[in-house]
Each structure stands twice: as structure tokens, then as C-alpha cells.
Amino acid sequence: MAISLDRSDPNFTKQVAAKSQQDIASCYQCGNCSAGCPAGFVYDLQVSQIMRGVQLGLKDYVLKARSLWFCLSCSTCSLRCPNEIDVAQVMETLRHMARENNSVAVPAVEKFFKSFLATVRYFGRSYEIGTMVLFMLRSGRFWTDVDLAPKALLKRKLGLLPHQPPEGVKAVTRIFERFIEQNNQRGAS
């Protein structure tokens, strides 16, 4: 993909460095992170290309990458970086920035995240069928993988009812509420 430095934004580099608390400038493009990334085969930009894009201040190029939404948050890239950059943390920061910038390149993944987190908020742990139903409603994908449900139910990979709530379910719900409150305050200020 041809890239242009005309739209380079040095502030973007500073913001990513500050929000992720990582030394972005120390990346010397060895490619170790990309070589070990288990999701790289579906990425449009490899993770080292994303790091380079951040160094060059290419905000749109980076925040519109589909790779951000296919990242598994496995931290292999962080472990392999010879400069001890927490690359997975940089990816997480970029996902937050893409949301704020309305640049989510794969909305279905974002809808899945939200559906999963909604079940954790209310039940204290994931509830698979609840996640599926919420995802179907949010995405309009009513029939995607629905044929797998009977097999998963038979093998007890899915339960019809939510799991027994953990002792700290109220505390988990409070964490979510506090986070939402802080987000609303940030949006209002």
C-alpha cells in the first residue's frame, strides 16, 4: 500500500506514546513482533508496520487498520520485542483511539466485544448464549454459525442458562458502572 507523509501528525505519535506509556521511538523495525504474531495472516497491516505508522504520525493509516480488531491481545509481540516495548499495549491504546475517532474498521468485532462485556457486567462472568443473542441483535447477523449451536450444546460447550454467578458479581457490576460514569464525565467535559 502506498503511503503519504503529507498527512503526518507528530501529535498523534506523542499521544500514542503518552497513552500507552511506551517508548515508540525505540522501535527499530526488526520485525520480531510481526514474525511471532499468530493473527498476522489476517492482518492488512502487520504489527511492525503499525508501529512504523505510529512513529511517522500516520493517524488515519493506523487507526483505520483492520488489524487492530483482529489482534488477539496475546502479548507475543511484547514478549518478543528486543526493546521491551509493550506492543500489545500499543495495540490496545490504538483500539481505544479508533473508537474515539469513529474509525472502527471492523464493527462486527466491536459489537462482539460489547455483547461479551454486557454479559460479564450482569452475570459476573461470560454467558455464551447471552453473548450470541446480543451479538445477533446488534449486528443483524441472525444466522451466522447458528448451525453450530446444537453441536456445542450437546458437547456442553454452551449452557442454556447463565453460569452460577461468582461471589463478587456485585463488585464486577460496580466496576462497569464506575467505568461508564467516568466515560460519561469525560464526554461531558
At its nearest, how many Å lie between ligand SF4 and the CB of residue 26?
7
Pattern 13-52, binding to ligand SF4, x per CB under 6 A?
--------------xxxxxxx---xxx-------xx--x-
Question: Where does residue 15 rank: exposed (0-12), middle (13-18), buried (19+ CB within 10 A)?
Answer: middle
- Candidate residues 77, 94, 104, 134; the one interacting with ligand SF4 per rule CB under 6 A: 77
Q: Report the 10 Å Cβ neighbour count for 180.
A: 11
Q: Which residue lies nearer to ligand SF4 by CB, 60 or 92?
A: 92
Return the range that interacts with ligand SF4 (CB under 6 A); candidates 83-91, 93-101, 110-118, 157-165: 83-91
- Candidate residues 9, 18, 83, 125; the one interacting with ligand SF4 per rule CB under 6 A: 83
**Euclidean distance between CA atoms 138 and 18, whole angstroms:** 33
Question: Is position 88 an interface residue for ligand SF4 (rule: CB under 6 A)?
Answer: yes
Return the range that interacts with ligand SF4 (CB under 6 A); candidates 81-89, 133-141, 154-162, 165-173: 81-89
Angle between helices 107-123 and 128-139 (to 10 degrees): 140
Tell me the number of residues near ligand SF4 by CB under 6 A.
28
At its nearest, how many Å lie between ligand SF4 and the CB of residue 91?
5
Q: Report the 10 Å Cβ neighbour count for 138.
A: 16
At its nearest, how many Å lie between ligand SF4 and the CB of residue 71?
3
At its nearest, how many Å lie between ligand SF4 and the CB of residue 67?
7
Return the range that interacts with ligand SF4 (CB under 6 A); candidates 4-12, 69-77, 105-113, 165-173: 69-77
Annotate 54-64 with b (16+ C-beta within 10 A) or e (fewer). Answer: bbbbbbebbbb
Q: Mark residue 96 as left, alpha or beta (left: phi above 0; alpha: psi -120 to 50; beta: remaining).
A: alpha
CA angle 140, 124, 96 (to 5 degrees): 60
What letter would DSSP give residue 62?
H
**Euclidean distance between CA atoms 153 and 158, whole angstroms:** 5
Site for ligand SF4 in 145-184 (CB under 6 A): none
Residue numbers of the site for ligand SF4 (CB under 6 A)?
A: 27-33, 37-39, 47-48, 51, 71-77, 80-83, 85, 87-88, 91
